Amino acid sequence: MEIKEITVHCTNDGKEYKAALGSTLKELSDKVCKTVTDEKTGVVYDVIAALVENRVWSLDSLFMNDVEDLQFIGYNRMEGRRTYIRSLCFVLQCAVRDLFPEKVLLIDHHIPSGLYCELQEPGKIEDGKPKAYFIKDEDIDLIKEKMKDIIAKDLPFSRTRMKMEEACKIFRSNNQPMKADLQESIGTFSCNVYSLDGKFDSFHGPLIPSTGYIKVFDLIGVGNGMCLQLPMMNDFSKVMPIRRQTKIAATLKDYSNWCSIIGIRGIGTLNNAIKAGKATDLINLAESLHERSYAHIADMIYENRSTKKIVMIAGPSSSGKTSSSLRIALQCKVLGLTPKVIELDNYFVDRDRTPKDENGDYDFESLYAMDLEFLNM
């Protein structure tokens, strides 16, 4: 019987290849492109995923049609990093389920060194949120060794298309009600469910082919939980260094606690609240919280008015710095102060005068991206 072939154009080398209909991307990668080289740094990375027509695909995906634009990618690409991180999180999930079957792993939020994680005790509520289990150093050592064991076995990540009701039943049996709520709120007939060593989970994106692709990670204790340390972006052989940013960590923790208190523990519960007509209530509640915070900041400014004359607000682009400064100024006026808001957005130099970083990109964080002469007038 004649094997049908399709044509694939690989942008990594600009060549066209023939691939058997129904063969995997990994089969072609093993033949023509096992590694990729970063154009800026020259660092070589293993191929862990692919972009097919600019959409990220896992290497176990099948060729079913001709492909005009295929690019194999490594950890140096954003899509590759996310694929690696999702897979590493699944390995952590499996290790925790083996060692602490009565606990639930919560991968809560990013911190400068990686992902902040907690273990929670299902069914136990404390101050409106699930009770956290204090992770001891010996617990972290056990989890880390279990993860290394799973990685050393080079176990495959398997993907199955499953009916939504069946998937939600699995998630609830795993003490993952938020994941079940999310799938139900999306309202699709079916969803992708991944399995690893008999454990099931879902992810909003592909995974790497097997655990053996994971080379670099670490676990360290942070607060009541732990940090899953990720590889550095510019040096895959090392994990991100520990950086103590207590204010950011405290803010993220407050955010997580607040979401739990108001009953929004994930996108699924948020979707259900919106469907139930509670969107306006949630917005008003969030606005009230912000206003209390602005008033508290204004109180601190007033108390220190004799010694502190300048208040600076920092944050990434579009994070709400200008809006916050205007609302804080309004709260200061309530206390009898007469603040002057200086918006730095009004002092950027023209684009042709904006300095560039070492990669040749515009560096808007540079002091010299500002018109200092105009600012000092």
Q: Please check the confidence at residue 1 and state whether its pLDDT lies above 60.
A: no
The whole-angstrom separation of Cα 152 and Cα 155 is 8
DSSP 348: B
User: pLDDT band for position 124 (50/70/90)?
Assistant: low
One-character DSSP codes across 274-297:
HHTT-HHHHHHHHHHHHHHHHHHH
- The rounded Cα 35 to chain-centroid distance in angstroms is 25
User: pLDDT band for position 112 (50/70/90)?
Assistant: confident
User: pLDDT band for position 127 (50/70/90)?
Assistant: low
β-strand 158-163 against 129-133: which pairing, if any?
unpaired
The whole-angstrom separation of Cα 231 and Cα 252 is 22
% pLDDT > 90, the chain = 51
% pLDDT > 70, the chain = 97
User: pLDDT band for position 125 (50/70/90)?
Assistant: low
Q: What is the pLDDT of residues 75-86, one digit of tens each?
A: 999 999 999 999
Q: What is the mean pLDDT of residues 13-31?
A: 93
Q: Please check the confidence at residue 2 and state whether its pLDDT lies above 60.
A: yes
The whole-angstrom separation of Cα 162 and Cα 141 is 35
For the chain, list the domains and their CATH numbers: 5-74 (3.10.20.30), 81-261 (3.30.980.10), 276-375 (no CATH)
Q: Please check the confidence at residue 129 and state whether its pLDDT lies above 90.
A: no
Q: What is the pLDDT of residues 146-193, one digit of tens each?
A: 999 999 999 999 999 999 999 999 988 888 888 888 888 888 888 889
- Average confidence score pLDDT of the chain: 89
Q: What is the mean pLDDT of residues 218-225?
A: 88
Q: Please check the confidence at residue 206 and state whether its pLDDT lies above 60.
A: yes
pLDDT at 6: 87
Check: CB of residue 113 under 8 Å from CB of residue 229.
yes
Q: Of 88-102, 133-147, 228-242, 325-339, where does mean pLDDT reach its minimum?
A: 228-242
pLDDT at 359: 78
User: pLDDT band for position 373 (50/70/90)?
Assistant: confident
pLDDT at 109: 82
Tell me the torsion sign for CA atoms 323, 326, 329, 334. Answer: negative
Q: Of 73-77, 113-117, 232-236, where does mean pLDDT reach its minimum?
A: 232-236
Q: Please check the confidence at residue 110 and state whether its pLDDT lies above 80.
A: yes
One-character DSSP codes across 183-251:
HHHHT-SEEEEEEETTEEE--SS---SBGGG----EEEEETTEEEEE-B-SS-TTSBPPP---HHHHHH
Q: What is the mean pLDDT of residues 332-351?
A: 90
Q: Of 194-198, 264-268, 300-304, where does mean pLDDT reach its minimum?
A: 264-268
